[in-house]
Structure 1
Amino acid sequence: MTAQNPLLAVEGVETYYGNIIALRGVDIAVFEGEIVTLIGANGAGKSTLMMTICGNPQARKGRIVYAGEDITHLPTHDIMQRSIAQSPEGRRIFPRMTVMENLQMGALVTDGASFDADLQRVFDLFPRLKERQHQRGGTLSGGEQQMLAIGRALMSRPRLLLLDEPSLGLAPMVVKQIFEVIKELNREEGLTVFLVEQNAFHALRLAHRGYVMVNGQITMSGTGAELLARPEVRAAYLEGGRKEAAE
């Protein structure tokens, strides 16, 4: 990438739950216009890193820099007003609100001037949401709820999109559609994406670069193609093997 400094830099971050360390000196860089993925087994610490970037929990050591600003100790609501949007694990839409109301909630951090254009953009990406716009979020299928979670994040016009396990629990056809949308947003609009995923195959095929996390530590990094070709990555994440990619 052409950017000299990362848009997002995680530097030596340690995060704890009480006295239990969850992240151990994590270093990650995401440059403008990249898709960067973090893969690892369930419980490796991937979602903890995503939550730490968003300020809850806060890093106990190290720092997180976004667009040249140290955001390590900012409260979550301040971080999310800096053109960062998150589609969290488990989707966490507002189930009693309609699709349209959920999307309106995503736009609250903007001035509203581009609401109609942003709404049309989301409906173009996810035509199903237009069909369901008056339906309550809680009545949607899992795949539709994931589309809504991403659409709600896009309504805030983010410079950096954080996606936490977008394929979790979804049918393969829906997973393919979600990943195609992420690819299109990056290719057509230059949107920077940091993607946390258990589905290593899809994530590494999509990403410019990737990192592997084991037990709260980054154990490997490289381009998506390089990591896909690594035998230890294939054994641990692509062929059903149980060997951790720690070496």
Structure 2
Amino acid sequence: MSAAASTPLLAVRGLRAAYGKIEALKGVDIEINAGEIVALIGANGAGKSTLMMTIFGKPRARSGRIEFDGHDITGVPTHDIARLRIAQSPEGRRIFPRMSVAENLQMGADATDCSEAERAAGLERVFALFPRLKERIAQRGGTLSGGEQQMLAIGRALMSRPRLLMLDEPSLGLAPLIARQIFDAIRTLNRQDGLTVLIVEQNANHALKLAHRGYVMVNGLITLAGTGAELLQRPEIRAAYLEGGRRG
């Protein structure tokens, strides 16, 4: 991991967001330093996905502040956030099922101003991580297996050359072998490329083993924080998310 910078790459301060009258985030504070993998765990409905989506501009924050690389991006439109090289692989993958693998990846590159050389280098990187996508390059996204679709969703995000990659439930619904391949790819991106990653993951054991640091969210608030190893040893974490089975 890179040495922690004096200014976090991402800082969320007192963030509140809601869907109508339902407040999903109730004053969230997190920090992510450049070069870190940070895991966010918690039960279903805790607000994890809402936090990730609010960082990416939808829904808009009701109050609080989001800073990226020292600049306030609270209220910045999603397409402008993408141009800052923040990328998201959303829960449910949300690939374009009628478009080919190549066209899906192209959509990721189109999110930022990439040169042709950068697009070619991006494709080479994605195919090195996920050789199966190169084999399926002309195949429609909707005909891929679940694991291949997850690879495509991550690959699409990587095509924008992100400085911060946000992954929402990347192992959801995948066979254990495929899930391990996804986690291995995330580890490779961090160790070889220094990519900063925020991961929301229902498999708390894998997420905390992968992460340098983690946060626990309960009912729209951060209730615990620490290194991945520290959180794995907390009895309340083991009881809630490990010993009793996987919970989102």
Q: TM-score per shorter chain, which class?
A: over 0.9
For structure 1, the 5+ residue unaligned runs are none
Q: Equivalent residue for 2:235? A: 231
Distance in 1, Cα, partners of 2:197 & 2:91: 15
Q: Equivalent residue for 1:160? A: 164
Instruction: Compute the TM-score of the two structures, normalised by the length of structure 2.
Output: 0.96
SS at match of 1:22: strand
Superimposed CA distance per residue, residues 63-111 of structure 1 (whole angstroms, 9 cap, x where no aligned partner):
0000111111111111111011110110000100000111111111123
Are 2:74 and 1:72 equivalent residues in the alignment?
A: yes
Name the aligned partner's letter for residue 62 of structure 1: G
- Contact 2:203 2:246 (C-alpha < 8 Å) held by counterparts: no
Aligned-residue offset at 1:198: 1.3
Q: Equivalent residue for 2:49? A: 47
Equivalent of residue 206 in structure 2, options 192, 202, 214 = 202
Q: Equivalent residue for 2:121? A: 117
- Contact 1:235 1:242 (C-alpha < 8 Å) held by counterparts: no
Q: Equivalent residue for 1:21? A: 23
SS at match of 2:83: coil
Distance in 2, Cα, partners of 1:159 & 1:227: 26
Name the aligned partner's letter for residue 98 of structure 1: S
Aligned-residue offset at 1:112: 2.8
Distance in 2, Cα, partners of 1:115 & 1:86: 18
Are 2:136 and 1:132 equivalent residues in the alignment?
A: yes
For structure 2, the 5+ residue unaligned runs are none
Are 2:121 and 1:147 equivalent residues in the alignment?
A: no
Aligned-residue offset at 1:241: 6.5
Are 2:171 and 1:175 equivalent residues in the alignment?
A: no
Identity across the alignment (%): 72
SS at match of 2:117: coil
Distance in 1, Cα, partners of 2:72 & 2:115: 25
Distance in 1, Cα, partners of 2:108 & 2:77: 18
Aligned-residue offset at 1:237: 0.2
Equivalent of residue 94 in structure 1, options 93, 96, 99 = 96
Aligned residues: 243
Q: Equivalent residue for 2:5? A: 3
Structure 1 residue ranges, 4+ long, deviating more than 4 angstroms after superposition: none
RMSD after superposition: 1.3
Distance in 1, Cα, partners of 2:163 & 2:68: 11
Q: Equivalent residue for 2:196? A: 192
- Contact 2:202 2:246 (C-alpha < 8 Å) held by counterparts: no
Q: Equivalent residue for 2:107? A: 105
Equivalent of residue 82 in structure 1, options 74, 84, 96 = 84
- Contact 2:204 2:246 (C-alpha < 8 Å) held by counterparts: no
Superimposed CA distance per residue, residues 139-176 of structure 1 (whole angstroms, 9 cap, x where no aligned partner):
00110000000001111111110101101111111110
Distance in 1, Cα, partners of 2:186 & 2:116: 24
Distance in 2, Cα, partners of 1:66 & 1:177: 29
Equivalent of residue 56 in structure 1, options 37, 55, 58 = 58
Name the aligned partner's letter for residue 218 of structure 2: V
Distance in 2, Cα, partners of 1:195 & 1:224: 12
Name the aligned partner's letter for residue 71 of structure 1: I
Superimposed CA distance per residue, residues 199-246 of structure 1 (whole angstroms, 9 cap, x where no aligned partner):
100000000000000111100000000000000000000011699xxx
